[in-house]
Amino acid sequence: MSGALTSGALTPGALTPSAPRAAAPRPAAARPAEPRRPLGGRGRAALGRAGRAALLATGRQPVPDAIEPLVQAHRLHHPQADLGLLGRAYRTAEASHRGQMRKSGEPFITHPLAVTMILAQLGAGTTTLVASLLHDTVEDTEVTLDQVSADFGPEVAYLVDGVTKLEKVDFGAAAEAETFRKMLVATGDDVRVMVIKLADRLHNMRTIRHMKPASQVRIAKVTRDVLIPLAERLGIQVVKAELEDIVFATLHPEEHARTRALVTAHEADPDVLLQPFAAALARQLAEAGVAAEVTVRPRHGVSVHRLMVKRTGAAGPDGLPQGLHPADFGRLLVVVEENADCYAVLGELHTCWTPLPGEFKDFVAAPKFNLYQSLHTAVAVDGEVVEVLVRTRQMHRVAETGVVALGDPHQPGGQPAGQAAGQQPSGQPARDELDRTDPARPGWLSRLLEWQQETPDPDAFWSTLTAELAGDREITVVTEAGETLQLRAGASCVDAAYLLGEETGHRCIGARVNGRLTALSTLLEDGDVLGVLTDGAAGPGGAAEPSGPAPEWLSYARTPGARLAIERWLADHPAGAPVVHTGPSAGQPAPQAPPAAGRGASPVAVAGLPGAPVRLARCCTPVPPDEVTGFAIRGGAVTVHRTGCPVGERMSDGGREALAVTWVADAVPPSGYRVTLQAEALNRPRLLADLTAVMSAEGIGIVSAAVEPPQELRVRHTYTIELPTAGTLPLVMRAMLRVSGVYDVCRPQPAGAGNTDDPFPQAVRPSWGIHGPAAAFSGRRSVTGTRGTEG
């Protein structure tokens, strides 16, 4: 079903050369316009002849009759456009394509003319229209790109080259994927390349019935998977809606026929809901002094079908599937002059009619990623739910035509091409210098251009591209440092970490979302505040190689950039390779990593059992220079406990022989030393975030964290961490003690060893004696974490 598209004006009109332009809707309080009288008594034909005579008198060549409709559509948006350039481009295109025919049997020149008409009604600039008229000359005729550049300038030549397909002779089956790659790269420099491509595909889809059935399905699927999402991201909703309807009719003809029958039946019935409500709302706004245009906007075919699927899938009050309601076939659009008027309309709506909770969305204060702005609400009218959209005229132009409404990005001040400096298209206000953002940058397109360089394989590029475009919306996440990140909906903390940089992603060990420690697999929501915890900073004299991502990260990485970086790391770092975690503390020298020979060696020597496997017990987490004792366990291994550990004492009481063990200098277990620390502090906001941040800065890995309920404004945090060396422990404890509110940091007493009023019992106090003020909770509890009797 080929739907009607709108031009840059407020009212819908079909984007076809033969379709008449619809009349503008009447303002709420406007008087009926008087019929226009011919100027000077001349008729329209006489005025046309007079205009041509004036052109000849000035020496300017008149435009060809074939592009008269195109010129009229273009001048509605660009009164000062260079029509001579348009006429010259048409003559070049017509001469180049002369003799060529389309599959429909029409002369080929009708295609570039139709594509250019679509762009003219969208409000595209003169340069874009010239490139559109010539967009197939280099691909299908003898005209070369150098000739286009010489005759029309390098800017037009760049746009023509951007939409020119690559030859299958050179690229084979990869020609289509590589053509899209080429167009996307060109779009990164000039978004008008993709605008021309979308108009080109729209006209081809309008005439798709002349293609073979297999070709129709192939082209419709590519349009569905790539072109429609691109139109959505560029904000060109009128093109997106018509493409959706034609693809729907091509791929699902039976469902399309049923939906079309429902729409036709609804149109045949008198409108007793939406039009009367629109008139009542217009009267109410006029009485309130709000100048507004209220119209009913019918839903297009795919929108009606989606709503029908939603209704039939949900049970109604009687328990049966619901059908479509009269209000489901359209929505009310209210167009006002100023942003403040949008909220005035909202106030009148919610005062005079009952609003539905949860249906209000403010995209004026927080625009969508493609610059879409509107207020969305829904009110109850005669037992039906009616949706209402409220926006200004400029918001409406951007909502309908997206990047096209922003003008030519290469003209000073964002002026549309062909527009004199300081002037604006008819009816358009001057653009704010602060409002020169482009929905193509720096969000989805910039990310796409980054990862496409890492996928030289055409098949991998195509599958990744379709997966990236599958998400229908984006979210905005703010880092704790104030940086704004644009991510696709459904992205996780891992995706955000890699968006901050590949090195940051590789060093990521955890994340805080809205101040709370969370898993890396956590899905982010729009407006979240994110903190990425890393295992140190790289650089000369800084941290060693990062620990890198785990293979399971691939299961919750949603963005192509993150997945490609993780896959590349895993390919370059086979599993099992040991990694050193180090990092300097604030004001402290970086702890030196032990020699390579010590990494992975046995940390203790067992008297009488040289070479025996050694396990450091998890119940008491021994670390040099703790006094330790060993016990033989099954399999010939030796488990090492701190002296005084209740688990070790029970093993001794059970008849197991205690073995003499000593620490080996510079030897480090493969995964470092695991240690449990307790921090006692005055409870305050962000305490957990600050403690984890300082530990991360020391280059350690946090295995687990537990926070006990606060008691009398005091709170206890318990962390199990992995140290790269034993010498890192005092640095970590000093760093934690420097956090505001923390008054005690210690290694807890082994489980079951009994209570004591000494915050640092002698049996577990490190030899360096780090502690804070002598204040502690009474009744110390056992450490929260993993315990084991045999390490």
Give the residue numbers marked as catalytic.
Answer: 139-140
Strands 614-616, 474-479: pairing kind? unpaired
448's CB contacts (< 8 A; 6+ apart) are 184, 465, 468, 560
* Backbone conformation region of residue 372, classed left if phi is above 0, alpha if psi is from -120 to 50, else beta: beta
| Amino acid identity at 61 | Q
Q: What angle do helix axes 83-97 and 145-152 make, rounded to 10 degrees?
A: 160
Specify the DSSP class assigned to residue 667: -
Q: What angle do helix axes 301-312 and 237-251 make, rounded to 10 degrees?
A: 60
Under 8 Å between Cβ of 705 and 718? yes
Give CA–CA dist 514/524, Å, rounded. Answer: 10
User: Which is it for the CA torsion 59, 64, 67, 73, positive or negative?
Assistant: positive
519's CB contacts (< 8 A; 6+ apart) are 493, 511
Q: How far is CA 478 from CA 481, 499, 524, 602, in A?
A: 8, 12, 11, 45
Give the phi and the psi of residue 46 in degrees, each rounded to 5: -65, -40
Q: How far is CA 277 from CA 273, 300, 377, 380, 781, in A?
A: 6, 20, 15, 11, 67
Give CA–CA dist 245/300, Å, rounded. Answer: 7
Under 8 Å between Cβ of 602 and 614? yes
Contacts 24+ apart (CB under 8 A), 419-424: 419/78, 419/80, 419/81, 419/125, 420/80, 423/80
Give CA–CA dist 139/133, Å, rounded. Answer: 13
Specify the DSSP class assigned to residue 664: P
Q: What angle do helix axes 126-133 and 154-163 make, rounded to 10 degrees?
A: 50
Q: Which residue has the tokens 């770092």?
A: 573
**Residue of 678, 618, 646 whose CA lies nearest to 753:** 646
Give CA–CA dist 106/10, Å, rounded. Answer: 33
| Amino acid identity at 182 | K
CA atoms within 13 A on the CB side of 689: 15
List beta partners, residue 668. 599
Specify the DSSP class assigned to residue 267: H
329 three-class SS: helix
Under 8 Å between Cβ of 433 and 47? no
Whether residue 38 is preceded by a cis peptide bond, meaning omega within 30 degrees of 0, is no
Under 8 Å between Cβ of 116 and 132? yes
Q: How far is CA 628 from CA 455, 613, 621, 752, in A?
A: 54, 16, 10, 17
Q: Give the pair of three-digit tokens for residue 56.
A: 């000849």
Give CA–CA dist 256/539, Å, rounded. Answer: 60
**Residue of 28, 27, 25 whose CA lies nearest to 10:** 25
Give CA–CA dist 765/649, Å, rounded. Answer: 19
Specify the DSSP class assigned to residue 767: T
Can you say how many angstroms the Cα of residue 557 is from the centroid of all Cα atoms in its chain? 13
Tell me the CA end-to-end span of the chain in Å, nearest whole number.
70
Strands 701-707, 714-723: pairing kind? antiparallel
Under 8 Å between Cβ of 616 and 669? yes
